Structure 1
Amino acid sequence: MNIRLAQKKDIAQLIQMRWDFTIEHNEKAADHDLEEFQMECRQFLERAIESNSWVIWIAEINEQVVSHIYMELIHKVPRPGRITHPFVYMTNVYTIPAERNKGIGSNLLTVVNKWVESNEYEFVIVWPSDDSIEFYKRKGYISCNEAMTFTPSIKS
């Protein structure tokens, strides 16, 4: 297994994995236009891979991407008297079904956590599914209740 940062050559696999991940958790999503999704996702991934705001970690076996973790760096407003480090929003954590429960996701998250520590990011925030809470706890993540959200009403 090889753990590395995603590259443009991985985009087609990452698009398919995002589609599969979504369908796995919401079968109705399969009713959406695959080509339209592929185009939108490709544009996002091309920008993300070239940017300094997104980091996409992958685990691959025989050049097949089998797991990934997307990280967005959130830069904070500086505060007097302390060095301001970004924090990290972790999302789209996924391992293909055939490779689950083999330690791949755990190994990938270990590498990500070391990367976070070595870059002195302030913290990582992730919204785990109910099924993944224990996975994150085993890697040192703790629950917090401090965040609040606002969801604007969407007018059709």
Structure 2
Amino acid sequence: MLTYRQADKADIPKLIDMRLAFLSEEHGELTAEQTHTIESQLQVYFREHLNRDLLVYVCEDDATIVSTVFLLVSERPANPNILTGLTGTLLNVFTLPRYRNRGIAGNLVKMTIQYAKDNKLSYIDLKATQAGYSLYRKLGFVPDESSNVPMKYRFSRE
């Protein structure tokens, strides 16, 4: 029987495993060095942020986490598009392959949306993969029609 709930600190080792599985699927097989570096960072990150500014919803089959949705909550200065100053970014929407196409991720995203409404976030954003695009559209997400061009500055890794 599947159960849905918010993750807690006891789940950190399983959340790390799910994050690594997600990253391997998104970026290809990780090297041993990448895996070690990411695991180390995630240990600290989850301890410091879980259930503060990072909420994670999970679906379990018995005691095994089979799907996750991360919501990173950010606070910034308010403006007409962000009246509450609070926004959310959906990350790591991931379901183990044998559990896909059962509506599990959709249920977790709905839980996340409800949390965001209850806590007065101005919006939730995400970067949709081709596989997830139709799910997000069905749940009410729309393409961002900003006149601004997304950009980033990357620091070289030496």
Instruction: State the TM-score bracket (shorter-chain normalisation).
Output: 0.7 to 0.9
1:40-59 maps to which residues of 2 (within 5 A)?
40-49=41-50, 52-59=52-59
TM-score normalised by length of structure 1: 0.86
Query: Helix, strand or coil: the match of 2:50?
Result: helix
Matches for 1:77-156 after TM superposition, within 5 Å: 77-78=77-78, 84-146=84-146, 147-155=148-156, 156=158
Please give the alpha-carbon distance, in whole angstroms, between the structure 2 residues aligned to 1:154 and 1:33.
Answer: 17
Q: Which ranges of structure 1 fall in alignment gaps of 5 or more residues?
A: none
Separation of aligned partners in 2, 1:95 and 1:89: 18
Paired residues in the alignment total: 154
Paired-residue identity, %: 19
* Residues 69 and 94 in structure 1, CA contact (< 8 A), matched pair in contact too: yes
1:18 corresponding residue in structure 2: 19
Q: Distance in 1 between matches of 2:13 and 2:54?
A: 18
Conserved in 1, the CA contact under 8 Å of 2:18 and 2:68? no
Judge conservation of contact 1:23–1:30 (CA < 8 Å) in 2: no
Pairwise CA RMSD: 2.2
- Return the offset for 1:78: 3.9
Query: Are residue 60 (structure 1) and residue 43 (structure 2) matched?
Result: no
Q: Is the 8 A contact 2:87 2:122 kept in 1?
A: yes
How high is the TM-score relative to the length of structure 2? 0.85
Q: CA 1:39 to 1:122, structure 2 compared with 1: closer, same or farther past 3 Å?
A: same
- The DSSP-based 3-state class of the residue aligned with 1:87 is strand
Name the SS of the counterpart of 1:141 in structure 2.
Answer: coil
* 1:32 to 2:65 alignment: no
